[in-house]
Amino acid sequence: MPTQLSNAPQTGSKEAHPRAPARPPPTYIPSILFSQSLRLFCVRCILVAGCFTLAYEIYWWGSIPGTIILSVTILHHLLSALGPQFVPLFGIMDILLIVSEILYCSYALRTYTASGQDYRWNPKRDVFGVASTLVLVIMLGALLSVKIVQLIDARGATILRRVDILRSRLNFHELKGAGEDLGRLKGWRYPARVLFGTKLWERKFPGEPLWIAVSRGLLSLIVMSAIVAFGIFAIVLEPVSEMGVVPTRELRSSTSAEAFWTSTPITRKVILTWPSHMNATKYLADAVSLTPLWTRLDVSGSTSGPTCSLEESFDVERNLPDNTLGMDLTEQMVVFTCPPHKDIPRDLSDPWLFFNYRQFTQPDLKLTVNFTELLNPNEQPGEHGTESDSLLVYVTLTNNTDDAVASTTPIHLLPGTNIVGITDTIVRQRLTAAHLSTLGFLDVYDTFLITKLAYTLPEPLAAVSSDYPTGPMISTIRIISTPLEAEWLILQDYRTKSILGGFAEVGGLGSFLSVIFVVLFGNTLLGIAHRIKPLTPFGVLHQLDTPRERLFRSSTEQYRDLRADIQSLKESPGLMKFVLDTLIDLDVIAEEPPMQRKYDDIERVEGPLTGPETESLIVKGEEADIIKRN
């Protein structure tokens, strides 16, 4: 509680000096930026993330400059953790090193994220490397911001002093002209405090054996490290990796297809792709023909109907594994559109309307291909392998060519073959908001129909009908579909892992381990890490300077005898004192906040971060009742 100064004037004085608040001057920035815990947290995260980033750099990229810079980064912060008594690392050198480290790590992060194909095939490894580098950049930036704020607050007095991570906030007048302070902790105690802290190793109550305290701290450190590692995999790596390698499941439903809303067109499309051969005399569009076989009669007895039309023909780039002799670097693609046998009235409210007119929409198509002029005149079929000398046939029900090629299994048509292909109709559901699914909120699907080749048969008409020519360079395929079954097959994208699910898994593991710690050591894992007694009405946020100061003042007004009762318990230790020391935590209101504790002298604090009340005074000692006149 602030010292209450007397209003009585001094002997020989005509008036008393007004009281001064016993607190540091207000600043424009949060006091948490001067917190020792924040600096220690940043340094520990930098060391851990730096080691992971270095391992990723060595294992995957193998860059010697990057390996050297990351090694220097780890060494720099490890030396700063040893303390000022070992390493003469000055403030200006420390800030310049951090700026250089941020610049390189930002460049490395951009390089890692530019390799998009790596995330598709090696998602966990590359996401782990990017995540560790991102954490490294964020922690370096946070540490740099904190040190710059402290440097400005001290008006540059620390720029030529040795770096001391454990140094408390000091004002300009305390630093100016003072000798070099090498810290209160000597030897191994300083790096042990920086790297591992002190709360884990404290004895819980007087008389507790040292081996129990050490075992509790060591086991807590191991378990917390394991939980953090498990959390990284469950919350970050596994959910994000499924954005590159998407899990897919097959579902079956007896519900009508109308239950799946879709924008599937009534028109079927046939897509053909052919790897271009050098010196070929014809393009694919000139060597193929697609003919509808309208075998079903309508009520008028007519068998005529619309024909399939060539919608587009174009070339696309293709990547060859090597410089294959005789193969071009392009791939020809032809798209045919086949309308229904009879015109069907379109109804935008019923996208599955064409299934009600199945007698007019069932495909019955014949594709004829002449490979003679698609190959080099000096080549024989199969000379470049099955993949390069076969025509891929996609039968689709979507207007999007990219979706059709990506989602449909093609039929391989080789030169000299005459076959019948029977296709199944499948409902395809693809995630359109993958980020929402990765977070674990909801799944939004784009639903459309695809076809899948069920099986093939030899063409029985090839030997008896002139409509199905045969020969080593001529191929035909008749495309029909199976009748609709009672059950629909749905091919659906989904997520086996999500970020919210990862938090739930980590929470479950942490709760289970906390129960074990309660049985063994009488406190939860979180309580051991933060030295929180089992019963407390206050959280971490209540221990910040401003909330703690307000709670201290309010408790003084509301419970005037609170601290007197606590003091009496200390003077006559008994059961209640044991309860307060081990079970109930009232330190937030029982102890005077650090902001209100008195300093060594009365001094005027000035600086660029000082607020409007620059005339605030810091008062020495609780015994001071009156401030003397100047």
| Residues 189 and 264 grouped into a single domain | no
pLDDT at res. 316: 81
| Residues 187 and 260 grouped into a single domain | no
pLDDT at res. 462: 82
369 contacts 478 by C-beta, under 8 angstroms: no
Q: What is the DSSP letter of 245?
A: S
pLDDT at res. 605: 35
The reply to whether 166 falls in a domain is: yes
Q: Which of 461, 493, 525 is the last residue of a domain?
A: 493
The reply to whether 568 falls in a domain is: no
| Residues 282 and 182 grouped into a single domain | no
| Residues 152 and 42 grouped into a single domain | yes
| Residues 324 and 180 grouped into a single domain | no
Q: Is 513 helix (H, G, I), strand (E, B) or coil?
A: helix
How far is Cα 167 from Cα 157, in angstroms, rounded to an integer? 13
For the chain, what is the total number of helices (H) and then of strands (E)? 19, 14
What does DSSP say about strands 418-431 and 474-481: parallel, antiparallel, or unpaired? parallel
pLDDT at res. 303: 53
Q: What is the DSSP letter of 479?
A: E
| Residues 283 and 162 grouped into a single domain | no
105 contacts 137 by C-beta, under 8 angstroms: yes
pLDDT at res. 5: 37
Phi-psi region of 577 (alpha: psi -120 to 50; beta: other; left: phi over 0): alpha
> Dihedral of CA 295/299/304/309: which sign?
negative
The reply to whether 452 falls in a domain is: yes
The reply to whether 213 falls in a domain is: no
Mean pLDDT by 10 residues, the chain (630 residues): 39 42 53 80 92 87 85 91 81 90 91 64 74 92 89 76 76 51 66 82 78 86 89 87 84 69 67 85 88 61 69 75 54 86 59 58 83 78 71 84 81 89 84 86 82 85 82 88 73 90 91 87 78 74 76 84 81 80 78 52 35 35 37
Residue 79, domain extent: 31-197
Neighbour tally for 303: CB within 10 Å = 12
The reply to whether 226 falls in a domain is: no
| Residues 310 and 433 grouped into a single domain | yes
| Residues 178 and 302 grouped into a single domain | no
Burial of residue 228, with CB atoms counted within 10 A of its CB: 0-12 exposed, 13-18 middle, 19 or more buried: exposed
Q: Which of 493, 521, 542 is the last residue of a domain?
A: 493
How far is Cα 74 from Cα 610, in angstroms, rounded to an integer? 35
Place of tokens 């100064």: 5
Q: Which of 465, 493, 521 is the last residue of a domain?
A: 493
The reply to whether 359 falls in a domain is: yes
| Residues 308 and 434 grouped into a single domain | yes
Phi, psi of 51 (to 5 degrees): -65, -40
185 contacts 195 by C-beta, under 8 angstroms: no
What does DSSP say about strands 268-277 and 391-396: parallel, antiparallel, or unpaired? antiparallel
Neighbour tally for 43: CB within 10 Å = 19
| Residues 133 and 260 grouped into a single domain | no
How far is Cα 17 from Cα 11, in angstroms, rounded to an integer? 13
For 168-305, list the strands marked E by DSSP: 248-253, 268-277, 288-292
Neighbour tally for 67: CB within 10 Å = 14
Residue 220 amino acid letter: S
Q: How many domains does the chain have?
A: 2
Neighbour tally for 549: CB within 10 Å = 18
| Residues 258 and 323 grouped into a single domain | yes
pLDDT at res. 490: 86
The reply to whether 178 falls in a domain is: yes
The reply to whether 339 falls in a domain is: yes
How far CA 165 is from CA of 46, 82, 93, 475, in Å, comes to 14, 10, 15, 78
Token couple for 92: 């200006």
Q: Is 251 helix (H, G, I), strand (E, B) or coil?
A: strand
| Residues 168 and 266 grouped into a single domain | no
